[in-house]
Structure 1
Amino acid sequence: MLTGRESAALGRRLFMRYIGATAAAGVALSACQNELVDPSARGAARAGDVIDLGDIGYDDIGVLNYAYALEQLEAAFYMQVIMTPYAGMNGYERSVLTEIRDHEIIHRELFKAALGGKAIPGLTPNFSSINFGSRAAVLGVARTFEAVGVSAYNGAGRLLKSADYLTLAGKIVSVEARHTSIISELLNPMTTSFAGDDIVNPGPASGLGEARKPEEVLALVRPFIQETINGRTQPQ
């Protein structure tokens, strides 16, 4: 478990690495556009491996690896979407989905840089159930991924001990929420889907985004990852 001093030092290093990661974003994006799995990941995982995140919340490393796993999945999904555009994808939709892809790659690289040698391996996506040729299927999965991602950050925020990490997570989740909104608008234009009852929970009167525990989120994303990702929430 990190001490307060260690956590603060790690938080400062995270922001320094973030500066470097964003400065190098163009290089990362061009290098990764044609790869589903990050080829530079340390000790890339193999399909069927079990990756145990341990007690998420015992220290911030577990929370960061949890977020890193989700960002790997989202980045891989959007990379595939752009590599194999669905039928009828227009210029506006391609622009939106490319921007989201770029955001997710940057998020993935940020967590990888922050974790360094403590990062989990690169994961192997399993998108066999997704029809990438169908607009409805792609945008439906995209909205699900984004909504689940937002609920994951909302649920994990309380587990972070470092104020720096919490601030960073807040910045990322605000971007992920914007992704949910624009995908919702593409799916159901001129409706209230951008803030529907399925993501404002428990009900529209609350005005609050849904929050899920890590165990709930991992159960939802396991079908899309060939490795088995396990994790438990450390009691608070």
Structure 2
Amino acid sequence: MTKHSLFLSPSRGPRLPRRAFLRYTGATSVGMALVLAGCKKDDPQPTAILNTSGETVLLGSGDTALLNLMQAGKQLSTDLLDRILKVSPAVLTTNELALVRDMQAQQKIHRDALKAAVNSARTVASPQALNLADLPADFSAIDFTQRAAPLAAAHSLLNTLVAAAAGAMRYTARAATLTLLGQVLSVDARHAATLGSLLAVPTYTDPQDGAPDARNRTLRPAQTAAALNASIKSGSRLLTNNLA
């Protein structure tokens, strides 16, 4: 089992037609409203902790924890795409490199937007913003000299971030956070679909084994932390409390 086995694996099954996929991503705002309406007031408030070099750093609770977890995911995706651009140009086509470059630029925008949202959501009870320097990436399990391996890793990570954003929505208490999560989900789903097309494999929006619709696939924040830890160097770990 590789370190990246905790990321969501591509599912088997027929691929979703492009028009249906666009209808799905275009309906995000409606879906967010339904998710918010379905949130329970007694849902446990997530608390995120970063344990690095023996030091435990509280990353907040509630929306601050959710945003910090998503920011961590965005930092990892940015680092991965940057590594692909630096190490894998010889095995990728000009078009593929352009797509990866565009994706990396968008991931940076998301990362910075999430950081700004953390600063906006912080309270006395959840004061800490994520220090991205405490999240050194570990992509040693990926062979960047082979075309499929880095693209598959990026595809898997983006699928994970889509499921993470969808799963985080039920815990948010702020409309601004819900909107941002929806925007992140839509863009990452599109990027995952693009990479899936390059690899000729199913994407997040394809039916998954044993489920009628892959759009129901979500990760709870605790599951998101576990998945992201697979690509963080040992010595730094994201931990969560109060999350089933």
| Superposed pair shares fold, TM > 0.5 | yes
Structure 1 residue aligned with 2:227: 220
Q: Would the aligned equivalents of 1:131 and 1:137 in 2 still touch at CA under 8 Å?
A: yes
What amino acid sits opposite 1:218 in the alignment?
A
Residue aligning to 2:128: 118
Unaligned runs of 5+ in 2: 1-49, 120-126
**Judging changes above 3 Å, is the alpha-carbon distance between structure 1 residues 124 and 156 closer, same or farther for their aligned structure 2 residues?**
same
Residue 229 of structure 1 is aligned with which of 216, 238, 241? Answer: 238
Return the alpha-carbon distance in structure 1 between the equivalents of residues 221 and 167 of structure 2.
7
Corresponding position: 1:76 with 2:63: no
SS at match of 1:231: strand
**How far apart in 2 are the matches of 1:194 and 1:216?**
17
Matched residue type, 2:240: G
Please say if residues 53 and 66 of structure 1, whose CA atoms lie closer than 8 Å, have aligned partners that are also in contact.
no
| Alignment partners' CA distance in 1, 2:228 and 2:175 | 27
User: Map of 1:142-161 to 2, 5 A cutoff?
Assistant: 142-161=154-173
Q: Write the distance in 2 (CA, Å) between the matches of 1:64 and 1:105.
A: 15
Once the 2 structures are TM-superposed, how far is the Cα of residue 195 of structure 1 from its aligned partner?
3.2
Identify if the C-alpha distance between structure 1 residues 194 and 160 changes in structure 2 by more than 3 Å, giving closer, same or farther. closer
1:137 and 1:51 map into 2 onto residues whose CA distance is 33
1:195 is paired with a residue whose SS is coil
Task: Report the AA paired with residue 113 of structure 1.
Answer: A
Deviations 1:30-77 (A, max 9, x none): xxxxxxxxxxxxxxx9964555556x7x42111111111111111111
Deviates more, 1:84-93 or 1:155-164: 84-93
SS in 1 for 2:140: coil
Return the match for 1:94 from 92, 97, 105: 97
The higher-RCO structure (CA 8 Å, 6+ apart) is 2
Matched residues, percent identical? Answer: 25
TM-score under structure 2 length normalisation: 0.67
The answer to which of 114-123 and 210-219 deviates more is 114-123
> Which structure 2 residues correspond to residues 55-204 of structure 1 after superposition, within 5 A?
58-116=61-119, 118-122=128-132, 123-188=135-200, 193=203, 195-198=205-208, 203=211
- Report how far residue 86 of structure 1 moved: 4.7
Q: Residue 118 and residue 47 in structure 1: after superposition, are their counterparts in 2 closer, same or farther (change >3 A)?
A: closer
Structure 1 residue aligned with 2:217:
210
Shift in Å, 1:83:
1.4
Distance 1:128 1:107 in 2: 25
148-157 vs 210-219, which deviates more? 210-219
Q: Which runs of 4+ in 1 moved over 6 A?
A: none
- For normalisation by structure 1, the TM-score amounts to 0.70
Give the length in aligned residue pairs: 184
Match of 1:35 in 2: none
Q: Is the 8 A contact 1:46 1:124 kept in 2?
A: no
Tell me: CA distance 1:195–1:113, structure 2 relative to 1, closer, same or farther (3 Å): closer
Aligned-residue offset at 1:84 = 1.4
Rounded Cα–Cα distance in structure 2 between residues aligned with 1:216 and 1:223: 11
2:205 maps to a residue whose letter is A
Aligned-residue RMSD, C-alpha:
2.5
Q: 1:141 to 1:108 in 2, by over 3 A?
A: same
Unaligned runs of 5+ in 1: 1-44
